[in-house]
Amino acid sequence: MNLDKAKKRIAKQVKKGVNGYPQITLAYHGETKECATVVSVQFILSEGDCVQEERFSCETDIRESELVQTTILKIIERANANSVIEVPGVATL
């Protein structure tokens, strides 16, 4: 799958808003606000459950990594997430 297609499908899931559980939260982190080198993918199965977290990192902007964006999309699809939340911007490390 190409990068643009993966990014569009993730954005479509985010636009649906909060519709209950299972819920996935995406948060990007980096040394500067312009370049995210780490993404944190948090999964909550149901209210009150523990948060499961997976982190991915790369040397360049992770938002432009086809492999990572495709992996995030697969996680969303396999978890059958009702809600996908993307934290706006890039948090500095």
Domain ranges within the chain, ordered by starting residue: 3-16+25-92
Closest C-alpha to 83, from 44, 57, 53: 44
Can you give the pTM of this predicted structure? 0.93
DSSP letters along 10-71, please? HHHHHHT---SSSEEEEEEEESSSS---EEEEEEESSTTPPPEEEEEE-SS-GGG-HHHHHH
What are the tokens at 10?
A: 């993730």
Q: How do strand 23-30 and strand 38-44 relate by DSSP bridges?
A: antiparallel
Residue-wise pLDDT tens digits, 14-61: 999 999 999 999 999 999 999 999 999 999 999 999 999 999 999 999
pLDDT at 1: 78
pLDDT at 49: 95
